[in-house]
Amino acid sequence: MRTYERTHPWISFRCDLKRAGADLWIALGEAASKCEHICRVPLRPTTAQKLHQLYLAKGVAATTAIEGNTLSEAEVLKAVEGNLTVPPSKQYLKQEVENIIAACNLISKQLAEGKLPLPSKELLCGYNRQALDKLPLDKDVVPGELRKHSVLVGNVYRGAPAEDCPYLVDRVCEWLSGPDFQPPANAAPGMETVYAVLRAIVAHLYMAWIHPFGDGNGRSARLLEFHILLSAGVPSPAAHLLSNHYNQTRAEYYRQLDHASKSGGDIVPFLGYAVRGLVDGLHSQLEYIWDQQWDVVWRNFVHEQYQNKNSVSDVRQRHLVLDLGVKNDWVPIGEISELTPRMAKAYANKTPKTVQRDINALLRMDLIARDGRKIKARREIILAFLPLHRRLEKDKAANLTHA
């Protein structure tokens, strides 16, 4: 018998999903469906890049914040863009963030090149080495090497015995790649994503239980989680959502970790907690994507209304309604010339009568609405292009934000 079997009996390498209720399977199916939707939505290049950078920043900020990094999400986004400057006293915080960004980018690059390796002890050690690169560490911590000493996590949880760590890391990597986390041969489409989500969450949980390194265990676990999700076809923005969820619900995250070990290894509650957070994050991500799609359809609709209309006034009116659409709110008529730089240029030498003529033309075309001395773009016109369905209250509220 190995020592961990006596001290950590919950590390059993068993994933009994027979106890999982319908709620978990429904949530997993919803997560798989939403991932498929995100994968198949074509975005403008600038939108795709912004989405990638935004959620990379969210994931990296969450991964480091839960370990005590105090840089804000906005600062991490600047680091993603290569524009972050910090005083010397915060240089180590920047270095920690840049390490995780580099690791995520390497995983994405390997995926794009078809060279993403299977989980292994060597892979995990590499992630740990990269996460801790150039950071100030305790003298007994060697980046990328499994610990040879006992470790206490938060003065509450003691990691698995050091002498068992090599075996445990090998075993968990072998287990994750085995039949327990592979969909049945006759599984319906989308089940690969379902099992990948389960595999990623269990990998994270077992790395937290084993705690194989002297430092950087959480960061290494979340990189492995990201790796597993990407390798199964989960879109890169979505693959950062679990880390973000753990950080945003940190107290519950630690409570669920504690329950999973003290219950003797019942991981179903932790799975439910993680998957619910993933689904919520995917919904928010789709809202962002739908907003971008809404804008594309609106712009195309406006351009169609002005097809073969190329006079100076036609161009000015088209620009006005498009810029009002970007503002997406009521604008005082007296401030139209200050709406955007091109509106300032368009109306620089024009009288208020010209502004009024343009407004009247757009009102006749039903492209804008007027409320006294204020106007706005009627982007809600696009609702007519949606399939017929009963509008629920949440849909009405969402449409009001777009209208």
What is the domain range of residue 393? Answer: 306-402
Helix 241-248 / helix 217-231 crossing angle, nearest 10 deg: 140
Residue 387 included in any domain: yes
- 283 and 320 in a single domain? The answer is no
Q: Based on the fold, state whether residues 281 and 310 are members of the same structural domain.
A: no
Q: Do 284 and 317 fall into the same domain?
A: no
Same domain, 59 and 207: yes
The domain that contains 355 carries what CATH number? 1.10.10.10
pLDDT tens for the chain, 403 residues: list them.
899 999 999 999 998 888 888 999 999 999 999 999 999 888 888 888 999 999 999 999 999 999 999 999 999 999 999 999 999 999 999 999 999 999 999 999 999 999 999 999 999 999 999 999 999 999 999 999 999 999 998 778 999 999 999 999 999 999 999 998 888 888 888 889 999 999 999 999 999 999 999 999 999 999 999 999 999 999 999 999 999 999 999 999 999 999 999 999 999 999 999 999 999 999 999 999 988 888 899 999 999 999 999 999 999 999 999 999 998 899 999 999 999 999 999 999 999 999 999 999 999 999 999 999 999 999 988 877 777 766 555 554 444 444 3
3-class SS of residue 235: coil
Beta bridge pairs of residue 148: none
In a domain, 249, yes or no: yes
251 shares a domain with 148: yes
Cα 91 from Cα 86, distance rounded (Å): 6
198 with 131, same domain?
yes
Q: Which of 246, 264, 289 is the last residue of a domain?
A: 289
| pLDDT at residue number 398 | 47
Q: Could you give the number of structural domains in the chain?
A: 2
DSSP annotation string for 79-125:
HHHT-----GGGHHHHHHHHHHHHHHHHHHHHHHTT-PPPP-HHHHH
CATH code of the domain covering residue 215: 1.10.3290.10
CB 277 within 8 A of CB 31: no
Alpha helices in 84-238 (DSSP H): 91-112, 121-131, 165-176, 191-210, 217-231
User: Do 348 and 281 belong together in one domain?
Assistant: no
Together in a domain, 282 and 345: no
Which of residues 259, 289, 319 is at a domain's end? 289
User: What does DSSP assign to residue 334?
Assistant: G
143 and 266 together in one domain:
yes
Residues 56 and 190 in one domain: yes
Query: Could you tell me if residue 157 is inside a domain?
Result: yes
Look at residue 131 and tell me if it is in a domain: yes
Q: What is the DSSP letter of 296?
A: H
Please report which helix (H) or strand (E) contains residue 157, including its range: strand 157-158
What are the structure tokens assigned to 302, written together? 């406006």
Distances (CA, A) of 170 to 123, 164, 175, 206: 11, 10, 9, 12
Nearest of 217, 213, 220, 222 to residue 145 by alpha carbon:
213
- pLDDT score, position 207: 96
Residues 317 and 273 in one domain: no
Residue 299 domain-assigned (yes or no) = no
297 falls within a domain: no
Helix or strand run (H / E) with residue 332: strand 331-332
Question: CB of 283 within 8 A of CB of 328?
Answer: no
Domain assignment present for 301: no
From 236, 256, 289, give the residue that closes a domain: 289
Q: Is residue 244 located within the same domain as residue 334?
A: no
Q: What is the spatial distance between Cα 351 and Cα 374, in angstroms, rounded to a whole number?
A: 18
